[in-house]
Amino acid sequence: MKPIQVGLLGIGTVGSGVFNVLQRNQEEIRRRAGRGIEITMVADLDVARARAVVGEGIQVVNDARAIIANPDIDIVIELIGGYGIARALVLEAIAAGKHVVTANKALLAVHGTEIFAAASAKGVMVAFEAAVAGGIPIIKALREGLTANRIQWIAGIINGTTNFILSEMRDKGLDFDVVLKEAQRLGYAEADPTFDIEGVDAAHKVTLMSAIAFGIPVQFDKAYVEGITKLGAADIKYAEQLGYRIKLLGITKRADKGVELRVHPSLVPAKRLIANVEGAMNAVVVQGDAVGSTLYYGKGAGSEPTASAVIADLVDIARLHTADPEHRVPHLAFQANTLADAMGTLPLLPMSEVVTSYYLRLRVADQAGVLAKVTGLLAEAGVSIDAVLQREADEVGGEGSTQTDLIILTHDTREGTMDAVIAQMQALPTVLAPITRIRKEELN
Protein backbone atom coordinates (compact mmCIF):
# COMPACT_ATOMS: atom_id res chain seq x y z
CA MET A 1 0.00 0.00 0.00
CA LYS A 2 1.39 3.41 -0.85
CA PRO A 3 2.66 5.59 1.97
CA ILE A 4 0.45 8.21 3.55
CA GLN A 5 1.59 11.61 2.33
CA VAL A 6 1.83 14.37 4.89
CA GLY A 7 2.23 18.13 4.44
CA LEU A 8 3.73 20.11 7.31
CA LEU A 9 2.76 23.72 7.95
CA GLY A 10 5.47 25.35 10.07
CA ILE A 11 8.78 23.70 10.85
CA GLY A 12 10.01 25.31 14.07
CA THR A 13 10.89 23.41 17.24
CA VAL A 14 7.99 20.94 17.15
CA GLY A 15 7.96 20.62 13.35
CA SER A 16 11.64 19.71 13.31
CA GLY A 17 10.97 17.12 15.99
CA VAL A 18 8.17 15.59 13.94
CA PHE A 19 10.38 15.42 10.86
CA ASN A 20 13.34 13.94 12.72
CA VAL A 21 11.40 11.33 14.70
CA LEU A 22 9.46 10.22 11.61
CA GLN A 23 12.78 9.76 9.80
CA ARG A 24 14.59 8.05 12.65
CA ASN A 25 11.81 5.62 13.55
CA GLN A 26 10.28 5.20 10.11
CA GLU A 27 10.71 1.43 10.09
CA GLU A 28 8.97 0.88 13.47
CA ILE A 29 6.26 3.39 12.59
CA ARG A 30 5.60 1.62 9.30
CA ARG A 31 5.33 -1.72 11.10
CA ARG A 32 2.79 -0.18 13.48
CA ALA A 33 0.78 1.79 10.94
CA GLY A 34 0.70 -0.87 8.27
CA ARG A 35 2.05 1.60 5.71
CA GLY A 36 4.68 4.26 5.45
CA ILE A 37 4.03 7.80 6.70
CA GLU A 38 6.06 10.38 4.80
CA ILE A 39 6.33 14.14 4.99
CA THR A 40 6.51 15.07 1.33
CA MET A 41 5.92 18.85 1.55
CA VAL A 42 6.86 21.48 4.09
CA ALA A 43 5.66 25.08 4.19
CA ASP A 44 7.46 27.74 6.20
CA LEU A 45 7.99 31.45 5.72
CA ASP A 46 11.69 30.80 6.35
CA VAL A 47 12.36 28.49 3.40
CA ALA A 48 16.08 28.35 4.04
CA ARG A 49 15.64 27.18 7.64
CA ALA A 50 13.08 24.62 6.53
CA ARG A 51 15.45 23.35 3.84
CA ALA A 52 18.23 23.06 6.42
CA VAL A 53 16.03 20.79 8.54
CA VAL A 54 14.63 18.50 5.85
CA GLY A 55 17.55 18.33 3.41
CA GLU A 56 17.00 17.59 -0.28
CA GLY A 57 14.26 15.48 -1.85
CA ILE A 58 11.33 17.10 -0.05
CA GLN A 59 9.36 19.97 -1.50
CA VAL A 60 9.74 23.15 0.57
CA VAL A 61 7.41 26.07 -0.12
CA ASN A 62 6.66 29.37 1.58
CA ASP A 63 2.97 29.18 0.75
CA ALA A 64 0.95 26.84 2.98
CA ARG A 65 -1.85 26.84 0.44
CA ALA A 66 0.35 25.03 -2.06
CA ILE A 67 0.23 22.05 0.34
CA ILE A 68 -3.52 22.25 0.80
CA ALA A 69 -3.97 22.42 -2.98
CA ASN A 70 -1.86 19.32 -3.58
CA PRO A 71 -4.21 16.39 -4.23
CA ASP A 72 -1.55 13.84 -3.21
CA ILE A 73 -1.41 15.11 0.37
CA ASP A 74 -3.57 12.99 2.73
CA ILE A 75 -2.87 14.72 6.06
CA VAL A 76 -1.96 18.32 6.92
CA ILE A 77 -0.08 19.03 10.16
CA GLU A 78 -0.66 22.55 11.45
CA LEU A 79 2.16 23.80 13.67
CA ILE A 80 1.86 27.52 13.00
CA GLY A 81 0.05 28.39 16.23
CA GLY A 82 -2.27 31.25 17.12
CA TYR A 83 -5.84 32.00 16.09
CA GLY A 84 -5.37 33.89 12.82
CA ILE A 85 -3.88 32.30 9.75
CA ALA A 86 -3.85 28.90 11.48
CA ARG A 87 -7.63 28.93 11.69
CA ALA A 88 -8.03 29.83 8.02
CA LEU A 89 -5.58 27.15 6.91
CA VAL A 90 -7.09 24.41 9.05
CA LEU A 91 -10.55 25.18 7.68
CA GLU A 92 -9.22 25.25 4.12
CA ALA A 93 -7.42 21.94 4.60
CA ILE A 94 -10.64 20.39 5.90
CA ALA A 95 -12.59 21.83 2.98
CA ALA A 96 -10.02 20.25 0.65
CA GLY A 97 -10.74 16.86 2.28
CA LYS A 98 -7.49 16.57 4.20
CA HIS A 99 -7.26 15.06 7.65
CA VAL A 100 -5.67 17.55 10.05
CA VAL A 101 -3.27 17.08 12.97
CA THR A 102 -2.61 20.10 15.15
CA ALA A 103 -0.85 21.00 18.40
CA ASN A 104 -2.71 24.32 18.55
CA LYS A 105 -4.54 24.40 21.90
CA ALA A 106 -5.40 28.10 21.60
CA LEU A 107 -7.08 27.60 18.23
CA LEU A 108 -9.13 24.59 19.36
CA ALA A 109 -10.08 26.01 22.77
CA VAL A 110 -11.54 29.07 21.06
CA HIS A 111 -12.62 27.89 17.59
CA GLY A 112 -12.97 24.14 18.20
CA THR A 113 -16.72 24.04 17.70
CA GLU A 114 -16.46 25.54 14.21
CA ILE A 115 -13.49 23.39 13.24
CA PHE A 116 -14.89 20.08 14.46
CA ALA A 117 -18.22 20.78 12.79
CA ALA A 118 -16.48 21.45 9.49
CA ALA A 119 -14.45 18.26 9.84
CA SER A 120 -17.52 16.16 10.65
CA ALA A 121 -19.41 17.59 7.69
CA LYS A 122 -16.50 16.71 5.40
CA GLY A 123 -15.88 13.29 6.99
CA VAL A 124 -12.26 13.99 7.91
CA MET A 125 -10.45 13.64 11.22
CA VAL A 126 -8.95 16.49 13.26
CA ALA A 127 -6.51 15.05 15.79
CA PHE A 128 -4.89 17.08 18.57
CA GLU A 129 -3.13 14.85 21.10
CA ALA A 130 -0.19 17.28 21.10
CA ALA A 131 -2.41 20.18 22.17
CA VAL A 132 -2.60 18.99 25.81
CA ALA A 133 0.32 17.84 27.97
CA GLY A 134 2.74 17.27 25.10
CA GLY A 135 3.85 13.67 24.86
CA ILE A 136 1.42 12.29 27.47
CA PRO A 137 -1.43 10.51 25.65
CA ILE A 138 -4.05 12.16 27.85
CA ILE A 139 -6.51 13.01 25.08
CA LYS A 140 -6.54 9.35 24.07
CA ALA A 141 -6.99 8.25 27.67
CA LEU A 142 -9.96 10.56 28.18
CA ARG A 143 -11.58 10.04 24.79
CA GLU A 144 -11.03 6.30 24.47
CA GLY A 145 -9.46 4.75 27.55
CA LEU A 146 -12.03 5.93 30.10
CA THR A 147 -15.22 5.78 28.03
CA ALA A 148 -16.95 3.58 30.60
CA ASN A 149 -16.84 6.30 33.20
CA ARG A 150 -18.87 9.19 34.31
CA ILE A 151 -15.90 11.52 34.77
CA GLN A 152 -16.10 13.40 38.06
CA TRP A 153 -13.13 15.73 37.85
CA ILE A 154 -9.79 16.36 36.22
CA ALA A 155 -6.89 18.24 37.79
CA GLY A 156 -3.67 18.73 35.94
CA ILE A 157 -0.25 20.30 36.02
CA ILE A 158 -0.39 21.18 32.34
CA ASN A 159 2.06 24.01 32.01
CA GLY A 160 5.72 23.12 32.40
CA THR A 161 6.99 26.69 32.69
CA THR A 162 4.94 27.47 35.77
CA ASN A 163 5.65 24.11 37.38
CA PHE A 164 9.35 24.67 36.86
CA ILE A 165 9.06 28.11 38.48
CA LEU A 166 7.05 26.81 41.45
CA SER A 167 9.46 23.91 41.97
CA GLU A 168 12.42 26.27 42.00
CA MET A 169 10.67 28.72 44.34
CA ARG A 170 10.05 25.91 46.82
CA ASP A 171 13.43 24.25 46.40
CA LYS A 172 15.49 27.39 46.79
CA GLY A 173 13.13 29.61 48.77
CA LEU A 174 13.30 32.29 46.06
CA ASP A 175 10.65 34.75 44.94
CA PHE A 176 8.77 34.62 41.67
CA ASP A 177 10.66 37.34 39.80
CA VAL A 178 14.06 35.86 40.49
CA VAL A 179 13.05 32.40 39.37
CA LEU A 180 11.28 33.66 36.26
CA LYS A 181 14.53 35.25 35.09
CA GLU A 182 16.38 31.99 35.70
CA ALA A 183 13.68 30.06 33.80
CA GLN A 184 14.05 32.43 30.86
CA ARG A 185 17.81 31.99 30.86
CA LEU A 186 17.42 28.19 30.84
CA GLY A 187 14.82 28.24 28.06
CA TYR A 188 11.95 27.05 30.31
CA ALA A 189 10.14 30.38 29.92
CA GLU A 190 9.69 32.51 26.84
CA ALA A 191 10.86 36.11 26.46
CA ASP A 192 7.21 37.11 26.81
CA PRO A 193 5.97 34.57 29.36
CA THR A 194 2.50 36.06 29.82
CA PHE A 195 0.47 33.14 28.42
CA ASP A 196 2.26 30.71 30.69
CA ILE A 197 2.56 32.61 33.96
CA GLU A 198 -0.93 34.12 33.78
CA GLY A 199 -2.50 30.67 33.32
CA VAL A 200 -3.85 31.22 29.81
CA ASP A 201 -1.99 28.28 28.26
CA ALA A 202 -3.22 25.96 31.01
CA ALA A 203 -6.75 27.31 30.52
CA HIS A 204 -6.66 26.45 26.81
CA LYS A 205 -5.66 22.91 27.68
CA VAL A 206 -8.14 22.32 30.50
CA THR A 207 -10.89 23.72 28.26
CA LEU A 208 -10.18 20.91 25.78
CA MET A 209 -10.09 18.28 28.52
CA SER A 210 -13.32 19.59 29.99
CA ALA A 211 -15.14 19.26 26.68
CA ILE A 212 -13.90 15.69 26.21
CA ALA A 213 -14.63 14.64 29.77
CA PHE A 214 -18.14 16.00 30.06
CA GLY A 215 -19.43 16.08 26.51
CA ILE A 216 -19.76 19.85 26.31
CA PRO A 217 -18.54 22.29 23.65
CA VAL A 218 -15.22 24.11 24.15
CA GLN A 219 -15.90 27.32 26.10
CA PHE A 220 -12.59 28.98 26.80
CA ASP A 221 -14.25 32.35 27.26
CA LYS A 222 -16.03 31.07 30.38
CA ALA A 223 -12.93 29.68 32.10
CA TYR A 224 -11.69 31.31 35.31
CA VAL A 225 -7.99 32.06 34.87
CA GLU A 226 -5.49 33.11 37.54
CA GLY A 227 -1.72 32.82 37.21
CA ILE A 228 1.19 32.49 39.62
CA THR A 229 2.65 35.99 39.47
CA LYS A 230 1.38 36.99 42.89
CA LEU A 231 2.67 33.94 44.77
CA GLY A 232 5.28 34.64 47.37
CA ALA A 233 7.97 32.40 48.80
CA ALA A 234 6.30 32.79 52.21
CA ASP A 235 3.09 31.09 51.08
CA ILE A 236 5.00 28.21 49.59
CA LYS A 237 6.84 27.83 52.91
CA TYR A 238 3.70 28.04 55.06
CA ALA A 239 1.93 25.56 52.79
CA GLU A 240 4.83 23.15 53.23
CA GLN A 241 4.60 23.47 57.03
CA LEU A 242 0.93 22.54 56.81
CA GLY A 243 1.67 19.49 54.65
CA TYR A 244 0.87 20.96 51.24
CA ARG A 245 2.59 21.93 48.01
CA ILE A 246 1.41 24.77 45.77
CA LYS A 247 0.84 23.85 42.12
CA LEU A 248 -0.79 25.70 39.24
CA LEU A 249 -3.69 23.37 38.45
CA GLY A 250 -6.11 23.28 35.57
CA ILE A 251 -9.31 21.92 37.11
CA THR A 252 -12.60 20.90 35.62
CA LYS A 253 -15.26 19.29 37.75
CA ARG A 254 -18.83 18.08 37.50
CA ALA A 255 -20.87 19.82 40.21
CA ASP A 256 -24.58 19.62 40.96
CA LYS A 257 -25.54 22.65 38.92
CA GLY A 258 -22.95 22.56 36.17
CA VAL A 259 -19.29 22.24 35.30
CA GLU A 260 -16.39 24.06 36.94
CA LEU A 261 -13.59 25.20 34.64
CA ARG A 262 -10.74 27.02 36.33
CA VAL A 263 -6.99 27.57 36.44
CA HIS A 264 -5.31 28.89 39.58
CA PRO A 265 -2.58 28.08 42.09
CA SER A 266 -3.76 25.36 44.47
CA LEU A 267 -2.57 23.79 47.67
CA VAL A 268 -2.34 20.02 47.19
CA PRO A 269 -1.53 17.53 50.00
CA ALA A 270 2.18 16.77 49.78
CA LYS A 271 1.51 13.04 49.92
CA ARG A 272 -0.42 13.02 46.64
CA LEU A 273 1.59 11.73 43.70
CA ILE A 274 0.78 14.86 41.68
CA ALA A 275 2.21 17.09 44.42
CA ASN A 276 5.56 15.43 43.76
CA VAL A 277 5.67 16.27 40.08
CA GLU A 278 8.65 18.61 39.85
CA GLY A 279 10.36 20.81 37.30
CA ALA A 280 8.92 21.19 33.83
CA MET A 281 7.04 17.87 33.98
CA ASN A 282 3.27 17.59 33.47
CA ALA A 283 0.73 15.29 35.14
CA VAL A 284 -3.02 14.93 34.95
CA VAL A 285 -5.28 13.20 37.49
CA VAL A 286 -8.63 11.96 36.22
CA GLN A 287 -11.35 10.79 38.61
CA GLY A 288 -13.97 8.49 37.10
CA ASP A 289 -16.86 6.80 38.84
CA ALA A 290 -15.83 3.29 37.82
CA VAL A 291 -12.04 3.47 37.55
CA GLY A 292 -11.45 5.77 40.53
CA SER A 293 -8.34 7.94 40.34
CA THR A 294 -5.86 7.57 37.48
CA LEU A 295 -2.78 9.70 36.79
CA TYR A 296 -0.78 10.37 33.63
CA TYR A 297 2.71 11.84 33.82
CA GLY A 298 5.41 12.92 31.36
CA LYS A 299 6.97 15.76 29.44
CA GLY A 300 4.42 18.39 28.53
CA ALA A 301 6.49 20.29 26.00
CA GLY A 302 9.67 20.16 23.94
CA SER A 303 10.48 19.18 20.41
CA GLU A 304 10.41 15.39 20.48
CA PRO A 305 7.85 14.82 23.28
CA THR A 306 5.37 16.97 21.38
CA ALA A 307 6.38 15.28 18.11
CA SER A 308 5.59 11.94 19.79
CA ALA A 309 1.96 13.05 20.15
CA VAL A 310 1.74 14.51 16.63
CA ILE A 311 3.04 11.29 15.09
CA ALA A 312 0.71 9.13 17.21
CA ASP A 313 -2.12 11.10 15.63
CA LEU A 314 -0.72 10.40 12.16
CA VAL A 315 -0.61 6.67 12.94
CA ASP A 316 -4.16 6.82 14.32
CA ILE A 317 -5.37 8.38 11.09
CA ALA A 318 -3.49 5.81 9.01
CA ARG A 319 -5.12 3.03 11.01
CA LEU A 320 -8.61 4.41 11.38
CA HIS A 321 -9.57 6.75 8.55
CA THR A 322 -11.40 3.89 6.83
CA ALA A 323 -13.82 3.45 9.77
CA ASP A 324 -17.39 4.64 9.35
CA PRO A 325 -17.13 8.43 9.99
CA GLU A 326 -20.49 8.45 11.76
CA HIS A 327 -19.24 6.17 14.49
CA ARG A 328 -15.47 6.34 14.68
CA VAL A 329 -13.91 8.15 17.64
CA PRO A 330 -15.65 11.56 17.88
CA HIS A 331 -13.40 14.62 18.08
CA LEU A 332 -14.60 15.47 21.57
CA ALA A 333 -15.24 11.88 22.71
CA PHE A 334 -19.01 12.32 22.52
CA GLN A 335 -20.99 12.23 19.26
CA ALA A 336 -21.36 15.84 18.10
CA ASN A 337 -25.16 15.74 18.18
CA THR A 338 -25.12 14.66 21.84
CA LEU A 339 -22.93 17.41 23.31
CA ALA A 340 -24.61 18.45 26.54
CA ASP A 341 -24.96 22.15 25.83
CA ALA A 342 -27.13 21.37 22.84
CA MET A 343 -29.48 19.92 25.45
CA GLY A 344 -29.05 22.85 27.83
CA THR A 345 -28.08 20.60 30.70
CA LEU A 346 -24.55 21.37 31.78
CA PRO A 347 -23.72 25.11 32.00
CA LEU A 348 -20.27 26.27 33.02
CA LEU A 349 -20.45 27.65 36.55
CA PRO A 350 -19.27 31.18 37.33
CA MET A 351 -16.39 31.22 39.81
CA SER A 352 -18.64 32.59 42.56
CA GLU A 353 -20.57 29.29 42.48
CA VAL A 354 -17.49 27.08 42.80
CA VAL A 355 -17.17 25.24 46.11
CA THR A 356 -13.66 24.52 47.33
CA SER A 357 -11.49 25.03 50.41
CA TYR A 358 -9.05 27.85 51.04
CA TYR A 359 -5.67 28.89 52.41
CA LEU A 360 -5.76 32.45 53.73
CA ARG A 361 -2.77 34.48 54.88
CA LEU A 362 -3.43 37.68 56.83
CA ARG A 363 -0.72 40.10 57.87
CA VAL A 364 -2.07 41.27 61.23
CA ALA A 365 -1.12 43.41 64.16
CA ASP A 366 0.45 41.28 66.90
CA GLN A 367 -2.07 42.12 69.61
CA ALA A 368 -4.78 40.41 71.65
CA GLY A 369 -8.18 39.75 70.06
CA VAL A 370 -7.16 39.70 66.42
CA LEU A 371 -7.67 35.98 65.99
CA ALA A 372 -11.05 36.18 67.72
CA LYS A 373 -12.21 38.95 65.36
CA VAL A 374 -11.10 37.11 62.25
CA THR A 375 -12.51 33.74 63.25
CA GLY A 376 -15.70 35.46 64.38
CA LEU A 377 -16.30 36.81 60.89
CA LEU A 378 -15.68 33.37 59.40
CA ALA A 379 -18.10 31.78 61.84
CA GLU A 380 -20.82 34.34 61.10
CA ALA A 381 -20.54 33.53 57.39
CA GLY A 382 -20.77 29.81 58.13
CA VAL A 383 -17.17 29.14 57.01
CA SER A 384 -15.73 26.20 58.92
CA ILE A 385 -12.03 26.27 59.86
CA ASP A 386 -9.76 23.28 59.26
CA ALA A 387 -6.48 24.58 60.70
CA VAL A 388 -4.88 27.78 62.00
CA LEU A 389 -1.19 28.64 62.09
CA GLN A 390 -0.06 31.77 63.90
CA ARG A 391 3.60 32.74 63.63
CA GLU A 392 5.70 34.39 66.31
CA ALA A 393 5.95 38.08 65.41
CA ASP A 394 9.75 37.97 65.73
CA GLU A 395 10.00 35.19 63.17
CA VAL A 396 7.92 37.06 60.62
CA GLY A 397 8.99 40.67 60.99
CA GLY A 398 12.30 40.34 62.77
CA GLU A 399 13.27 41.16 66.36
CA GLY A 400 10.72 43.46 68.02
CA SER A 401 8.20 43.24 65.17
CA THR A 402 4.62 44.22 65.92
CA GLN A 403 3.18 42.34 62.96
CA THR A 404 2.67 38.67 62.33
CA ASP A 405 1.18 36.25 59.82
CA LEU A 406 -2.05 34.42 60.51
CA ILE A 407 -2.68 31.43 58.25
CA ILE A 408 -6.09 29.79 58.08
CA LEU A 409 -7.19 26.67 56.21
CA THR A 410 -10.93 26.40 55.68
CA HIS A 411 -13.25 23.55 54.87
CA ASP A 412 -15.37 23.64 51.69
CA THR A 413 -16.98 27.01 51.10
CA ARG A 414 -18.73 28.65 48.17
CA GLU A 415 -16.35 31.12 46.49
CA GLY A 416 -18.96 33.89 46.60
CA THR A 417 -19.24 33.50 50.37
CA MET A 418 -15.46 33.55 50.71
CA ASP A 419 -15.21 36.73 48.63
CA ALA A 420 -17.61 38.47 51.03
CA VAL A 421 -15.80 37.33 54.20
CA ILE A 422 -12.43 38.32 52.80
CA ALA A 423 -13.79 41.81 52.12
CA GLN A 424 -15.00 42.02 55.73
CA MET A 425 -11.69 40.80 57.14
CA GLN A 426 -9.79 43.18 54.90
CA ALA A 427 -11.73 46.06 56.45
CA LEU A 428 -10.54 45.23 59.98
CA PRO A 429 -8.04 47.83 61.22
CA THR A 430 -5.81 45.07 62.57
CA VAL A 431 -5.42 43.51 59.11
CA LEU A 432 -2.44 45.40 57.75
CA ALA A 433 -1.97 44.22 54.17
CA PRO A 434 -3.94 42.68 51.32
CA ILE A 435 -5.11 39.20 52.27
CA THR A 436 -3.62 36.31 50.30
CA ARG A 437 -6.16 33.68 49.25
CA ILE A 438 -5.09 30.44 47.60
CA ARG A 439 -7.54 27.65 46.85
CA LYS A 440 -6.93 24.18 48.26
CA GLU A 441 -7.77 20.89 46.58
CA GLU A 442 -7.62 17.59 48.44
CA LEU A 443 -7.84 15.58 45.18
CA ASN A 444 -9.25 12.48 46.81
Site for a second copy (CB under 8 A): which residue of 296, 374, 404, 405? 296
Q: Does 129 bind a second copy (CB under 8 A)?
A: yes
The answer to the question of whether 13 is labelled as a binding residue is yes
Is 156 a known ligand-binding residue? Answer: no
Task: State yes or no: 57 annotated in a binding site.
Answer: no
* Least distance from a second copy to the Cβ atom of residue 98, Å: 19
Q: Which is nearer to a second copy, 64 or 332 (CB)?
A: 332
* Whole-number Å distance between alpha carbons of 174 and 151: 38
Mapping DSSP onto H, E and C, the string for the chain reads CCCEEEEEECCCHHHHHHHHHHHHCHHHHHHHHCCCEEEEEEECCCHHHHHHHHCCCCEEECCHHHHHCCCCCCEEEECCCCCCHHHHHHHHHHHCCCEEEECCHHHHHHHHHHHHHHHHHHCCCEECHHHCCCCCCHHHHHHHHCCCCCEEEEEEECCHHHHHHHHHHHHHCCCHHHHHHHHHHHCCCCCCCHHHHCCHHHHHHHHHHHHHHHCCCCCHHHCEECCCCCCCHHHHHHHHHCCEEEEEEEEEEECCCCEEEEEEEEEEECCCHHHHCCCCEEEEEEEECCCEEEEEEEECCCHHHHHHHHHHHHHHHHHHCCCCCCCCCCCCCCCHHHCHHHHCCCCECCHHHCEEEEEEEEEEECCCCHHHHHHHHHHHCCCCEEEEEECCHHHHHCCCCCEEEEEEEECCEEHHHHHHHHHHHHCCCCECCCCEEEEECCCC
- The torsion angles phi and psi of 112, rounded to 5 degrees, stand at -55, -40
# chain residues binding a second copy, by CB under 8 A? 68
The one segment of 59-67, 307-315, 380-388, 427-435 that binds a second copy by CB under 8 A: 307-315
Catalytic, 205? Answer yes
* Minimum separation from the CB atom of position 167 to a second copy (A): 13
Check binding of 34 to a second copy (CB under 8 A). Answer: yes
Residue with smaller CB distance to a second copy, 112 or 288: 288
Query: Is residue 187 part of an annotated ligand binding site?
Result: no
Is 161 annotated for ligand binding? Answer: no
Q: Which residue lies nearer to a second copy by CB, 89 or 142?
A: 142
28 near a second copy, rule: CB under 8 A: yes
Please identify, using beta-carbon distances, which residue of 4 and 418 lies nearer to a second copy.
Answer: 4
Tell me which stretch binds a second copy (CB under 8 A): 159-167, 220-228, 310-318, 404-412. 310-318
User: Is 335 an interacting residue with respect to a second copy (CB under 8 A)?
Assistant: yes
Residue 302 marked in a binding site: no
Q: Taking CB under 8 A as the rule, does residue 22 contact a second copy?
A: yes
Nearer to a second copy, 253 or 391 (CB): 253
The residue (of 344 and 429) whose beta carbon lies closer to a second copy is 344
Please report, as residue ranges, which positions from 191 to 230 form the binding site for a second copy (by CB under 8 A): 215
Q: Given the residues 98, 140, 205, 440, select the one marked as catalytic.
A: 205
Contact pick of 87, 104, 305, 360 for a second copy (by CB under 8 A): 305
Q: Report the binding-site residues.
A: 9-16, 105, 190
Q: Report the binding-site residues for NADPH.
A: 105
Provide the binding-site residues for a second copy, judged by CB under 8 A: 1, 17, 21-22, 24-25, 28-29, 31-35, 129, 135-137, 140-141, 144-150, 215, 273, 276-277, 288-299, 304-305, 307-312, 315-316, 318-324, 326-330, 333-335, 338
Which residues are tagged catalytic? 205
Q: Report the binding-site residues for L-homoserine.
A: 190
